[in-house]
A and B are shown apart, each in its own frame.
Chain A
Amino acid sequence: MRTLYVSQQNCYVSLQKETLIVKQGEIVQGQVQLPLLEQILIFGKSQVSTQAIRACLWREIPIVYLSRMGYCYGRILPIGRGYRQLCRYQQQLTQTERLITARGIVQAKLKNSRVLLRRQRRRQESELLEKVLQGLDHLVSQVAIADNWDRLMGFEGAGAAQYFSVFGECLTNPEFVFVGRSRRPPGNPVNAILSFGYQVLWNHLLALIELQGLDPYYACLHEGSERHAALASDLIEEFRAPIVDSLVLWLVNKNVMNAQNDFEYRDGGCYLNDLGRKKYLKAFLQRMEEEVQIDDGNKQPRWHLLTTQVKAYKQFVYNPAQVYQPYLIR
């Protein structure tokens, strides 16, 4: 997805012919060709001129407003872009169809977490890690027979807790410590990157879901409500480990992130600052644009994996007999 990320503060986005100009004070920070753009993400306090907003509405380019840590406040969409198209089919999915899909999603999440940890294990042996791998295996089999959502969410939570209990062992950079997942607010740098990373990926998935005409408020695993775009939360599960977690490990272990300079402490939590956000986004893009081999043997940028899953979900909605197959690390 060709995206304009405005992660610096106090920028001004204006329209000039077919181009968006991003200025910070009098300095032009960047220019983007509007016809080739797919979405705009604005982190924190920057302005977009009405002319630019109108041009984006016209071209169906969503403008997403996020907090500096990536929480999505809302988005500007053209009035013609509703969720009417597939919404009816999504509402007609039966409880059983939704439960089967929800199970598949949780299993894929657990399996992908397991693969990530196992790959780390090759580098360092640890008894604890071994135990967690077995625990995750056990949970995968439990999920397969979970007969209600409470159980399913319970297994999912247990899996996440086990996974994050050893995630810290995969970090080899002594500057960063991770003992457990903390969020709202994230308590330390590693948690800050994880939170920001999930938020960014979540928003990309939301955009792709809307692009495919699916209603993001109807989902299988997460309880949808008018306040929660649950489908994005469903589809992010299978990608957390392969996309965000592995990127975080790389950023930390390869010393790309700096524990002193890239973070700020405020409101009782730890967050990425201007520098850190930019670093993360750059690495994220690089990773997403990297070509990976897909099922038919061809090579596609990693973005393609996300689009494929959203399309697969759409197929499932049209034809629930064709079960949704989540993404599994090859």
Chain B
Amino acid sequence: MLLYVVAYDIPCDKRRKKVSDLLEGYGIRVQYSVFECVLTVSQYNELHQRLRKKVKLSEDKIRFYPLSAHTLNQIQVWGGPPVTEIPGSTII
């Protein structure tokens, strides 16, 4: 499992909504168009595949930054939620 920072810039409201809805399923929104996702390789690939269908790369920009364990410890958070951790189970 790795922490990925996904940042996007999408001018079209409709596509941006779709991308953000999809990312809500995989990670936590930490800024308006920045998500942090802790994913396994297969989840990451799945996200790629599904995102690919929703964007128009002539207009949209998306970046994925995988963080290694080395740099993970050096993340600094100024304001907002803490760094996203491995998602756990939920008891209701």
Chain A positions near chain B (C-beta within 8 angstroms): 1-8, 11, 17-19, 22, 24, 29-30, 32-36, 278, 281-282, 285, 289
Contact = CB atoms under 8 A, between A and B. Distances in A.
B31 interface: no
A2 B88 contact: yes
A208 to B, nearest CB: 14
B60 interface: no
19 contacts: A2-B87, A2-B88, A4-B89, A4-B90, A4-B92, A5-B89, A11-B92, A17-B22, A18-B21, A18-B26, A19-B24, A19-B25, A33-B26, A35-B46, A36-B25, A36-B87, A281-B91, A282-B91, A289-B88
A4 B92 CA distance: 8
A6 B91 CA distance: 6
B43 A35 contact: yes
A278 B89 contact: no
Contacts, number: 57
A317 to B, nearest CB: 24
A36 B87 CA distance: 8
Nearest to B22: A18
Contacts of B39: 36
Contacts of A282: 91
Q: Interface centre among A33, A281, A282, by most B CB within 10 Å?
A: A33
B92 to A, nearest CB: 5
B92 A29 contact: yes
Interface string B60-92: 000000000000000000000000000111111
B30 interface: no
B26 A36 contact: yes
Nearest to A31: B90
B47 interface: yes
Contacts of A278: 91
B25 A34 contact: yes
B25 A33 contact: yes
